[in-house]
Amino acid sequence: MYEAWRWFGPDDSVTLDHIRQTGATDIVTALHHIPIGDVWPLEEITARKKLIEGHVAGRTSLKWSVVESVPVHDDIKRGADGCDRYIASFVSTLQNLARAGIRVVCYNFMPVIDWTRTDLRFSLPSGALALRFDQDVFAAFDLFILKRKEAVQDYNKAEIGRAQDIFETMTAEDVTQLVKTIVSGLPGKMTGDYGLDDFRAALATYKTITKEALRANLLKFLDVVLPVAERLGVKLVIHPDDPPRDIFGLPRIVCTAKDLEYLFAAQPSVSNGLALCVGTFGSHPDNDLPHMAERFGNRIYFSHLRGVKKDLADPRSFTEAAHLDSDIDMIAVIEKLLQAEKVRGVEIYIRPDHGHQMLDDLEKTANPGYSAIGRLKGLAEIRGVIRTLDRGLD
């Protein structure tokens, strides 16, 4: 496996020299400053590549191997009039990335917002901080802060009561922080920042978009993009929806193994790949991650190795766990990925994802989930598993 590390560019508090010290060899990054729907110019791609890969005397070499992510414009997801120009821009970006030698490209098809949490600094018994999604807090936001008209249909009486109890204990500062956490999005997301009114307006544009329509728009997008990706030798890998279920009345279509079976049957191109985000899929109770790693091993070109612990009272709520101490059998997942590599003869890019904020990083400002030490701990644990399993599989 190629050990990779997500880097948010020159302004990331975790520097390239820090990454070298982790032992990671490959960089996962994107040109976050380019507006969604615009073409990534070859000049900007090559400048970023030179920054990452340029020789530094006495320093270990790094390689920009994976793009995460090239954003898909919401007009494409909605199938809006004129969306073909955004598809054309996506194709041009793929062509420029291929010219620069970058051939694994991650994307997602989540409407309006990217991955969502309700707490970016949840305190663990150890004193470290984790990301958390609390279903009742989310419902309090949806019902009583966002005040989405249709929200009452999505919750039962007991859920509404718990959400109201939470909302009534919230201070103005609590409300502001929750709005910022959910609506403004997270660092690394590609959807822009919203105020509440903007967010309501964005949700309204999906009012008539069903799950079937969203899936059809994904397939239409791939009809154009995948033949180009094949010719370029690019693997286009889709990231699952996080959390993997409908939220805010928005349909989500990459949540389960059945969703993946549909996608790969409809679009069998070898360039139609999967970014196996273990933690995202693992937060859906129906997903068996070792089985999915085996079932879709021929489609997995990139994997986020993290896990979650789901609440016993409501498994829709979860806390991001230590990399080897979640609800998921991470060792079995890694074993299946190693077996897939041997069958295909192609190594998979993996990265530690969403590490806990801990030790000296508690006093530092970092992208939520992307502080250095927690991910370093996760990578060290994962590396140990890989080395041990590799010896057994030889």
- The set of catalytic residues is 239, 277, 304, 353-354, 370
Q: Among 187, 215, 206, 222, which Cα is nearest to 111's?
A: 206
* Full DSSP string of 177-225: HHHHHHTS--TT-SS----HHHHHHHHHTTTT--HHHHHHHHHHHHHHH
User: What's the helix, strand, coil split of the chain in %, to 5?
Assistant: 45, 15, 40
Q: Among 225, 234, 246, which Cα is nearest to 73's?
A: 225
What residues contact 140, with CB distance under 8 A and at least 6 apart? 163, 164, 166, 167, 170, 178
**Structural contact between residues 85 and 100, judged by C-beta atoms closer than 8 angstroms:** no
Angle at 319 between CA 293 and CA 112, to 5 degrees: 75
Q: Among 213, 356, 382, which Cα is nearest to 304's?
A: 382
- Cα separation of 209 and 25, whole Å? 42
- CA 53 to chain centroid: 24
Report the run of H or E that residue 20 belongs to, with start and end.
helix 16-22
